[in-house]
Amino acid sequence: MRRVFFILLFLGSTLFAESLHIIPEKSLIGFEISHIGRMEVEGAFSDFMVDLAITDNYWPSANVAVTINTSSLSTKNRMRDRHLKSDDFFDVSQFEFITFKSKSFFYNNDDVWVSGDLTIRGVLKTIEFPFFVLDKENGAFIIEARPTLNRFDFGMNSHKRTIRREFMVNMQLFIVSN
């Protein structure tokens, strides 16, 4: 499922001739969370799908849907992965996917923001966060976002004294145009 489909739709009768594709090996959807008094723990999901549609390269016209397979989580530590996949955290046996569906894109000063519905562990919450489009050469670019979320908002209440409640999502999508 680690596919990303980019659909550029234009008003009128013509479709933009350039197609965009993600390079999965260079893309990432992950998270960072701190153990208080210990270390920063990083994890990533290897199985995700992102659908993006944008009209006339104008972000307020865009739509995005993200689906992440929770069982693809890895911190490169099997014991920690089992614990994060348990009902203490992501509860992958009960909640197979994390989803995000945009409601709107808007400009705030020079930044582009997205507002949408995020569902983790069956809990739906509307969130807003900025994202950045970083230009590269030869038609390639990166979309990067780092929203901070409160794990308690999604029912991940275990280890309140040893693991911080806030965690940062790390999304980097490497995109090339043909």
Distance, in Å, from the CA atom of 81 to the CA atom of 79, rounded to the nearest integer, reads 5
pTM score: 0.84
Q: Give the pLDDT of residue 42.
A: 94
Residue pLDDT, tens place only, 64-87: 899 999 999 999 999 999 999 999
Low-confidence ranges of the chain (pLDDT < 70): 1-21, 37, 177-178
DSSP-derived pairing of the beta strands 3-8 and 48-55: parallel
Number of domains in the chain: 1
Residue pLDDT, tens place only, 157-175: 888 778 888 999 999 988 7
Helix, strand, coil tally for the chain in percent (to 5): 10, 55, 35
Amino acid at 81: D
Closest CA to 73 of 122, 24, 31, 125: 31
- Domain that residue 106 falls in: 3-177
CATH code at position 169:
2.40.128.110
